[in-house]
Structure 1
Amino acid sequence: MIMRIDLLAGLCGIFCTLSTASIADTIMHLGREWPAPKGFEGVCSSYPPICQKSPHPHQITDAEWKKIKKVNQSINQKTPEVSDKSQYHVLEKWALPSHLGGDCEDIAMLKKVELQKMGISPDHLLLATVLDLHHEGHAVLIVRTSKGDYVLDNLTNRVLPWNKTHYAFIEAQDPNDPARWNIVLQDR
């Protein structure tokens, strides 16, 4: 995923600090509204489940948690990584994976759609952008639970708490209005 790295690096310098995480840090804190990532425009109309809210959100059960982990691993194994440049001849396009596969945000979107089909409330599923371990733009799916926010990532089958990924979180969908995005505030 190509992102506004210069802008994101500047934001990271403002919002990303390293310290020991506490139990309170298991939930991502979102700040002010921020422009959606490049390539996201039109996603809500093309893929309505990506921006859907549930009228009756519920807590994630142990059985649903097992489904979440299984979906993460299954999609990671079945969906080849294909860049937008080679597939669509553009630098950035958010879309569900095609028969060829998809890149990180496409895979994160597919996980969100599949988990909603399995009954997971969309209120618990937020797309987020990060700088990965190589300081590259990357997208993941956040699963909000009563025990914290967890990351579903196409780079690993492990489902980790957001603050244990070593990623610099940049922005995430607003849980109150998933068509909007907010800056992720980090104090860890």
Structure 2
Amino acid sequence: MNRPFVLLLSIVIFAGCSQTGSVATTAGITSSADLSSHGGKMELRGHAFPPPAFNAFCAAEPRLCSTRGDVKTLELTDAHMAELHAVNRAVNRRIVEQSDLQSVGREDDWRLPGKVGDCEDFAILKKHELMKRGWPASVLLLTVVTSGGEGHVVLTVRTDRGDLILDNRTDAIKEWTRAPYRFFARQSQTAPGKWDRIAAASGAS
């Protein structure tokens, strides 16, 4: 990984979560028929450093930190799509967005939230809820992005129809190439506990 990227990623992660409501709206996916024919799978560019609070989170919640498993992409059936929509909406409504500094008195604290949380806490809870429904941890990857220069965390769901994004800022589920973010890094599927750098998508928003 080159040094400028390492420095930029550190800045992105320490910046915290971007605020709800500042993302331009784009159409979401309601069924597998809405997906692009090219599949929309992320291309990776080697390893990246994990967010600073990630290791402490893994020590506290190893099951939710895990990406172990033989399944690398899940078949996206209509039933699976319905589950994604149900979990995304339910978590977005259940948790009140609040910064780590406000909720726990310190910045950059990753955890399974109760009633309040910031962007990574929403993503962690969505992973937790999908795993309870039988989804493998190996296809549910915490992912660092930026929006307007501010750091943000979403959940990437790897399917046979492409990589989909669950986000606390919208109930719409989007293909990653159509999400209004710049993608930086995600949990590695091949090296548990590590992160991979994401290549820029051609034609992405």
How does the TM-score come out when normalised to structure 2?
0.76
Alignment of 1:135-174 (within 5 A): 135-174=149-188
Residue in structure 2 matched with residue 75 of structure 1 by the alignment: 91
> Per-residue deviation at 1:25?
6.7
Q: Deviations over 1:64-110 (max 9, x none)?
A: 221111100010011100100111221211111133x1000011001
1:108·1:154 contact (CA, 8 Å) conserved in 2? Answer: yes
Amino acid at match of 2:135: I
Conservation of the 8 A alpha-carbon contact between 1:33 and 1:180: yes
Equivalents in 1 of 2:179, 2:6: separation in Å?
A: 19
Residue 179 of structure 1 pairs with residue 193 of structure 2: yes
| Cα RMSD for the two superposed structures | 2.4
Match of 2:25 in 1: none
Could you tell me whether the CA contact under 8 Å between 2:113 and 2:122 is conserved in 1?
yes
Mapped contact 2:67–2:140 kept (Cα < 8 A) = no
Rounded Cα–Cα distance in structure 2 between residues aligned with 1:10 and 1:83: 17
> Offset at 1:5?
10
1:107 and 2:108 are equivalent in the alignment: no
Residue 29 of structure 1, CA deviation: 1.2
> How far apart are 1:123 and its partner, in Å?
1.5
CA contact (8 A) 2:43 2:199 kept: yes
Alpha-carbon distance, 1:111 to partner: 0.3
Contact 2:157 2:165 in 1 (8 A): yes
Q: Give ranges in structure 2 of 5+ residues lacking alignment.
A: 13-35
Pairing 1:19-30 to 2, within 5 Å after superposition: 24=38, 26-30=40-44
| % identical aligned pairs | 34
2:28 pairs with 1:8: no
Q: Is the 8 A contact 2:67 2:139 kept in 1?
A: no
1:125 maps to 140
What is the DSSP-based 3-state SS (H/G/I as helix, E as strand, rest coil) of the residue aligned with 1:113?
helix
Change (3 A) 1:184 1:138: same
The whole-number CA distance in structure 2 between the counterparts of 1:187 and 1:112 is 24
Aligned partners of 1:178 and 1:130: how far apart in 2? 20
TM-score (norm: length of structure 1): 0.83
Alignment partners' CA distance in 1, 2:87 and 2:165? 13
Q: Which runs of 5+ in 1 are unaligned?
A: 12-21
> What is the alpha-carbon distance in structure 2 between the residues aligned to residue 26 and residue 165 of structure 1?
11
